[in-house]
Every structure is written in C-alpha cells, then in structure tokens.
C-alpha cells in the first residue's frame, strides 16, 4: 500500500476558495487527473487503517451467513463493479439496482444512485444491514469482529473505542478512498500532451463535449455534476424504483438518479442504475435516440442525430480515451483469525 501525503486545506483555499470547506485535509498522492479527495476531520488516514479497511472489504464474515463480502459485488477484476445486472447477496437474494463502481468514489459528494448517504463512512454500513445484500445487524457484526482476535487487536490499536460499527465504516471508507484511477489519454491531454487524443479518440472527445452534449452532466475532469437526472432509463420498472423520489418524496424527482463517474467505463458493464444497457454501443444508441420519453425527462436529453461514424468515435473515446494507465489492482489480503 503506497504512503499517502496529506495537505492542509489552507493551501488549496489559496487556489479555489469558493469550492473547498475550511479545516479539512486532502489526499494528495493521486493519479494525474484526480483532485480533491476529501479526508474528513474525524477519519484521518493511516496505513494501518487502510489495511484494516482492505481486510474488512474482502472478508465474507461481514455478512450474516458469512458468504458475501463487499468485494463480491465490487469486483476489482470488473472495474470494482459487478458484471451482473443485479448482484447476488446472501441466500441468493438480488439487489434492486445495478452496483456502481467504487473507482474514484472519493470524488463523490453523495452516495448510492439516490444519494441517500452523505459520506463514505455512512455509505459503508448500508449494505451490511440490507437484507438483500449482507443482512447482518450492526450489534451482531460488532460481536463477531470482537471475537476475532486479529481484528480486535487492530481496532484497539487504531481506534480509542475499539470495535464498533462506526469504526468499521471508517476503516472501509479509508480503504475505498485509495481506489483511484487516472492517467487516461483524456487526463494526459489536459496535462499538456496534445497528441494523447489523436485520431478517432480525439473525434469522440470533441463529440462528447460538443454535439453529443455528454459534458452537460459529465463535467470535464471529474465526469460528474454531482446531480440527479431523469434520462428515461428503467421506465418499465418505474413503479417499483422511483429513484431520488424514494428519498425526497417529490413527484418531480421520480426517475432521477445520480450522474456516475466514467473512468474505466469499459470495465463496468452493464450500464445505468437498472443495468439495462449491456454495451457502450447500447448506451450511445439510447442517448442518440433521445433517452426514454417520460414527463420528467431531463431537458438535456434530446435526440442527437449522430451518424454511424460519430457514434463509433464516441464509443471509442468512452472505451479508450477514459481508460486508466494506473488502474487500481489490489491483491486479496490475508484475513485475521
């Protein structure tokens, strides 16, 4: 695990004071193209905490029947996502949404497709208690980890209060903030390498931020606007999954889902919150046709009238232009006993 360097926020406030909260720290040892990985004041990073989070992430003992780990659905070999449309949890249960990748998850401001968690620490505990995912009570989890001597020693060395569910969330979040990918051709182009987007990749880049209007929501560099949009996907199941409206209760939020990050997109099929698009070609065709018509359709989603050659160039950019040179490969750790 690489050592991470932390810089105090006052340095960054000299650069972009309007966007950064005071008295926070930031992960600075990051790939080209990645910025502003915020480290909460109450969960500072350390090698020991990151390693503990890594062990917890890969440990099936965190699930009720001890068969499912975080890595079961967030597979490092599949873009830290799942190749299935809906993931399988304990007892063969299925998730109701496609599992998003956690690559560069530290860039997010809210978590889950409907934004119901405000921090990585909070997000980490939701799947544990979800009956269709890991299905374990937090008090049961605390007791189980406390009974494992290796975990008990690590928690006691890192946290003053030892094994608690909150500290499980902190350790998992610390590890997830290190799952970073950058150095894509797009990042190299922005870094001053004019030839990084030559040929069809460059044509696709121009379409992405031009005629195809992708950049309206997938804003340059971070590739998200941190907002929620109705693109018309999953209309056949809209009665079951209302998206952001599940959290807000507002009719105008029905069908809205968070804008995902896009780096290493080629590894994370299928796509959209409902996993309804199997390939990047399917995704581009969907947007080219103007999404799925419905009363709440985002005004940015309109027919694009791309030619066959333009669609292919856009797919090439999504597949090759956003492929990371230093993709986060992680070996499964030895688990404590």
What are the C-alpha distances in Å from 323 to residues 181, 204, 302, 311, 320?
9, 14, 27, 18, 5
Q: Which burial class, exposed, middle or buried, applies to 22 when counting CB atoms under 10 A from its CB (0-12, 13-18, 19+)?
A: exposed
pTM (2 d.p.): 0.91
Distance CA 22, CA 11 (A): 11
3.40.50.150, 1.10.760.10, 1.10.540.10, 3.40.50.970: CATH of 188-321? 1.10.760.10
Q: Give one word for 305, left, alpha or beta, with left for phi > 0 and alpha for psi -120 to 50.
A: left
Domain ranges of the chain: 6-176, 188-321
Q: Report the pLDDT value the prediction gives residue 237, as an integer from 0 to 100.
A: 56
Distance CA 200, CA 283 (A): 18
Range of weakest confidence among 14-28, 39-53, 199-213, 294-308? 14-28
**What is the percentage of the chain residues whose pLDDT exceeds 70?**
92
pLDDT digits 0-9 by tens, 125-152: 999 999 999 999 999 999 999 999 999 9
Domain spanning 6-176: CATH 1.10.760.10: yes
Task: Calculate the average pLDDT of the chain.
Answer: 91
Q: Report the pLDDT value the prediction gives residue 25, as an integer from 0 to 100.
A: 84
pLDDT digits 0-9 by tens, 40-96: 999 999 999 999 999 999 999 999 999 999 999 999 999 999 999 999 999 999 999
* Known binding-site residue numbers for heme c: 70, 73-74, 214, 217-218
Q: Report the pLDDT value the prediction gives residue 5, as an integer from 0 to 100.
A: 37
Distance CA 120, CA 122 (A): 5
- Same topology between domain 6-176 and domain 188-321: yes
* Known binding-site residue numbers: 70, 73-74, 214, 217-218
Task: Select the more confidently predicted residue: 28 or 236.
Answer: 28
Q: Tell me, what DSSP letter sits at residue 58?
A: T
Residue 118 has pLDDT above 50, yes or no: yes
Q: Report the pLDDT value the prediction gives residue 2, as an integer from 0 to 100.
A: 39
The answer to whether 45 and 177 are in contact (CB under 8 A) is yes
């Amino acid at each position: 695990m690489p050592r991470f360097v932390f810089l105090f926020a006052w340095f960054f406030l000299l650069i972009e004071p309007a966007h950064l909260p005071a008295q926070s720290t930031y992960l600075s040892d990051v790939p080209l193209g990645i910025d502003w990985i915020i480290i909460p004041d109450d969960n500072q990073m350390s090698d020991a905490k990151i390693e503990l989070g890594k062990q917890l992430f890969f440990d099936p003992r965190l699930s009720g029947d001890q068969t499912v780990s975080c890595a079961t659905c967030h597979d490092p070999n599949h873009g830290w996502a799942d190749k299935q449309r809906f993931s399988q949890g304990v007892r063969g249960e299925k998730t109701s949404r496609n599992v998003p990748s956690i690559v560069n998850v530290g860039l997010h401001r809210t978590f889950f497709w409907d934004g119901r968690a405000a921090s990585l620490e909070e997000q980490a505990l939701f799947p544990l208690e979800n009956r269709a995912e890991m299905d374990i009570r937090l008090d049961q989890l605390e007791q189980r980890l406390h009974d494992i001597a290796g975990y008990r020693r690590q928690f006691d060395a890192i946290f003053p209060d030892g094994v608690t569910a909150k500290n499980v969330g902190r350790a998992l979040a610390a590890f997830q903030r290190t799952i970073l990918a950058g150095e894509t051709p797009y990042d190299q182009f922005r870094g001053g390498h004019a030839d990084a987007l030559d040929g069809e990749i460059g044509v696709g880049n121009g379409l992405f931020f031009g005629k195809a209007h992708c950049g309206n929501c997938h804003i340059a560099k971070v590739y998200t606007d941190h907002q929620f949009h109705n693109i018309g996907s999953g209309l056949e199941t809209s009665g079951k999954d209302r998206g952001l409206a599940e959290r807000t209760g507002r009719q105008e939020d029905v069908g809205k889902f968070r804008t995902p990050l896009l780096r290493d997109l080629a590894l994370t099929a299928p796509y959209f919150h409902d996993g309804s698009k199997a390939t990047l070609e399917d995704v581009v065709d969907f947007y080219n046709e103007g999404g799925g018509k419905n009363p709440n359709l985002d005004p940015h989603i309109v027919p694009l009238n791309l030619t066959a050659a333009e669609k292919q160039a856009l797919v090439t950019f999504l597949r090759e232009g956003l492929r990371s040179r230093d993709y986060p490969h992680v070996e499964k750790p030895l688990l404590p006993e």
